[in-house]
Each structure stands twice: as structure tokens, then as C-alpha cells.
Structure 1
Amino acid sequence: MRKILGMIAGLCVMAGCQASADYTPNPSEETVLQVSDFTDRTVSFQQTPSRIAVLGNGELEMVYALGEEVVGRPTSKDPAIVTEAEDVSQVGTSHEVDLERLTYVQPDLVMANAPMNEKDIPVIEGLGAEVLLTSANGIEDIQDQLALLGEVLQKEENAQILIEEIDQKIADLQNSEPEEKPKVLLVYGAPGSNMAALPNSLAGDILEKAGGENVAAQFESLETFPQYAQLNSERIVEADPDYIFFMAHGDPASAQEGFIKEMEQHSAWSELSAVKHDHLSILPSELFGTNPGTRIIDSLDYMRAELEEAMSE
């Protein structure tokens, strides 16, 4: 677990120290808490944040799982993943921050992505908000996010319960691992590009924890996206996966269509066991390919169910 710095000064427990929408930190005030985010930046708080904006769905889900609310959520054409946040203002995403909307909601804390939003820190801090950068390239990262949020929001006990539930789910799956693990190719697709997810990606971690074998484990990682690798047709044919799982980002239908076209362009793919037995599964985007937050338990259950179905055929 990522080490979080402890409390620095006395907690603000006196009446009148409640957070308000127009609160502006006073440099002369004592620091209540300092934490270290995923880029090892030290972030200081004069009081517990009460106006939280998030740029990712995983962080949105975690804030509500800890019993808090947000004033800004990720921009999306789809309904909010948390029903209670449906009417919350949309403030952009990690790919493109909507500074106008972010200014309007007056956050005192913005949860953003590392390293994608490092460039946005100065302008967000200029709005009077602190920025916490996190990422989720594995299940432990999600647990670290929970621990960090629990510390900042003074919800440590709630966070620890959620972390332990994830640990228990992993332990249960490991205690019931199949003797022969099905070989799986995980494909992460976006319009115009498809990549193989490696074990150091979130989906790759889920696959291994659920009892599958990643056929791309030894593929060379991409320099710009080290959790993924190029789809090497020759090596994929050699590995002969039993199952192909496809995850989509952005426009799922377009990404899926693009992947199928790419497979059709390589005649050798038709000889794969997965293709011969029609073992191509489209994984739900809310559980795979993006941070599902505490629903990582559902992701693990879903993956195990898919693997068991593959093994039963």
C-alpha cells in the first residue's frame, strides 16, 4: 500500500470550522493534513474537503462508496455510474478538463489522473482547489486510492472495510483456482487502435487474480502505454488463446467493429482455438478497461464466471 503521511497538526474540531462553498484557504491557518499522492506530490489541506470534483468514474464511485458526495463528475453521454450523482454538474474528463464548469462548481478538491493531468495542476490550483493525482493500473492501486481518499475525507474506517472486502474476494478466488488455467488474450480497443493488455494493466491483473493465463504476458510493452503491447499476430497464433476478451474505450460499437476487421485481415487468426469455438467475449466497459472503483469485486466475479464458462465447454 502506498504510504500516506499522517496528521500534521491538531484536527479542526471546534465549531465554526465547517467547510463552506466559498471557503478560501488562509496561508496563516495551520495545516490540518498532508498526504502524498500517486506522483509523490505532497498535498496540504487546511480543512477536510467538502466540495469534491472528480474526472474519472472510478473516483466518483469511490467517493460515494465512502459516504460522501461530489459537486462535479466526469462528462459523459451515458447516465452517471452512481445514480445519486446523475444531476451533478459535469466538469470534463482526465482527457479534457472543462475549466469553465469546474470554476462554476467551486471545488476545494479535484481528483485527477496521474500522469495525464499533471499539466493541469497549476490552472486547477489557481481556482482555489487542491489536486490529488491517482491512477489504477492494478487492483492494489484501487485499494491505495481508497486508503488515500479515506485519509483525506476522514473516512479511514470506511475505506479499510472496503479494502478488506477486496482482499477477501481475491483470497476466495485464489482458494478456488482451476487446476488448468484457460489461456486468454485481452484486447483493449479504441477507435483506430487495438492493443493487448499486459499483466501490469488493471484488466491483466483482474484476469490473473480470477484464474486466467495471459498469453501476452511476455509481449514487449509499448513505450507510451507500458501496460499494453502491440497485437503481434505471429505470437498470438503461436500462443493459441482459448478465449479472447475485448474491452472498449470511447465508442464501444466502433471499437469492436474495428477489432473484428483487424482479425479478418489476418487469415491466421481464423485458426485460433478461440475463433474456431467462437470464444470471443465483449467485456462490459463499466467493469473493464476503466477504473471500476469498489466494483472491482464485480469485475473479478464477472471474469471468473467467463473463465468457468470457457472451461466448461
Structure 2
Amino acid sequence: MSVGLVALFDDIATLAKAAAASIDDVAGQAAKASTKAAGVVIDDTAVTPRYLTEFSPSRELPVVGKIALGSLKNKLLFLLPAALALSFLLPQAITPLLMIGGAYLCYEGAEKVYEALFPHDAHAHEAGLETVALDARSFEDEKIASAIKTDFILSAEIMAITLAAIPGGSIVNQAIILAVVGTGITAAVYGVVALIVKADDLGVALARLSPASRAAAPLRATGRAIVHAMPYLLGALSTIGTAAMIWVGGGIILHGLEAYGLGWPAHALHDAGAAVARAVPYGSALIAWLVEAAGAGVAGLAIGLLAIPLTGRVLSPLWRQIKSLTRQVLLRNRA
């Protein structure tokens, strides 16, 4: 009996070691895959605050929480199983779906540029669009739905990059790595977003510290500096977020075209970046990236501007019909 018990403990220890090794392997692969998606993660962090600029301070964190929950659902409930299914059953569909998402990002970014240049025409275009949410009862609902929709595209890119970075293995391991990366990135992105949007409240709290204490003087000065800087920071993040959507969307489409034998635009941008980088003595890698990002941004802006009339005249009326039919079906089911 004692020998059998010792053998059982030995087997359990062996299994525990194997499980620990497997966990370490998953953690290592998840960390490597996360670094591959770092660029899109930065873009996601820059894009999100632009949806929070019109809310009262009391609603900022609840709205961030709702968007973060929607982002987590996007990754874990929709994109993770879809990515695994497509990679095994229909891998050729991944590229065109990503390109459609890239076109949407281009449209969203170009719409903001159009609004800045031609505000009257942009407002007329926006007034004619159908709302995103199926049942948007308030301005907050609509903003959250728009943010989650944009997050879906960026999350799809993150999950696709992560899946491509995972070495071949079991579908269970791939699912675990995707879930770990998706959860970690969501927590990181929306944690930073929450800090950004509440930084002004921290500044106000510091600025109101009692002046009686000499030690509080530097903190009060820091608080005032934060309060004065936040409008400029949020404005800069809004601009960066718009630019990020345009160049990420343009880059997705240009790289997608390579898969269909139309690689010359991406190759031309790469060659231009390399040529400019060779002409400067310092920061050649950064210069090359800036040239390629600018080229992708130009392409993305052109695609987005073309998508504006297409959205207003074709896609929005089509979405209006779909929503109407969906509401009718829901009403029938409730009856």
C-alpha cells in the first residue's frame, strides 16, 4: 500500500512539473506574441480617449469600464473562436476580413479630417447616417457602441498578429495564449485610458492641498501643471488617435494587397523609407518607419475619403434596413 501511495505521489509530482512547464511555455509564448502586437496596442490606447471627451467627469470611468468590457467580449467571445476557426477551416478569409476592418478604420479617421476641413458638410453627412447601436437610448449608448466597434477592428488585428506569432501547436494551447494576450492587453489599454481621463481630477486634488504645509507646495504646483496640461494632452491624443486609425487602416490594406499580387505599393513605401534612412546619419530606423507610416497614412486617407460618400449613400441606408428588420423580428418574438 505504501509503495503504491509513493508511486501515486511520484506520478502527481511528474504531472505537476509537466503542467508547470506547460504554463511557463504558454506565458513565454504569450509575452512574445504580445510584443508583436505592441504597435496596434499603442494605437488602441491613443484612439480610445477621443470617445470620452464629451462626458462629465462622473461618467468617465463607468464609460471606460463599459468599453473595456465590450473589448474583452470582442476578443474572448467573438474574435478568439473566429480566429481559431478561420485559421483551421478557412485561413484565406482572414486577409480580406482584416482589409475590410482596415477600410473602416480609414473611414473613421478620414471622417474626422473631413469634419476639421469642412465642418458644415461633415455635419450634414453625419446627420444622414444611421446610428451604430441597434437600440441606442442615449448619447452615451451611441458613443460606447462606436468605441466598441472601432475596438473590434483593432482587436481583430491584435488577435491576428498574435495567432500568426504562435508556433504550431494544439488548438487548446493557441486558445489559451490568445485568451491570455487578449485579457492582458485589454487590462493594460483601458487601465492606461482610465489613468489618462482621470489625471485632471488627480491634478485638482493636488492643487487643493492645504497651503499651510510647505511640503504640499510642490504637490500643489504639480497639480496645477497637470490641470493646465490635460486639455492639450487630450487634444494631442485625439489627433494621434485619428492619425493612428488612418495609418493602421492604410497599412492593413497595403499589406493585404500583397497577398493578392499587388505588392508594389507596400514595396515602394519600404524602398522609399530605406532610401531616406540611408540619407540621414542618425535615427535611420525611426526615419524609415515614419516614411512608411506617412505613406500608409496617405493611402489610408484616400481610401477613407472615398468611403465617406459610399457610407452615406449605400452602407448607411442598408444598415437602416437591417436594423428595421431586426427590430421587427424582436417585436414578433416578444409578442
TM-score (ref. length: structure 2) = 0.20
Give the number of the structure with larger relative contact order, counting CA–CA contacts within 8 Å between residues 6 or more apart. 2
Kindly indicate which of the two structures has a greater share of residues assigned to helix.
Answer: 2
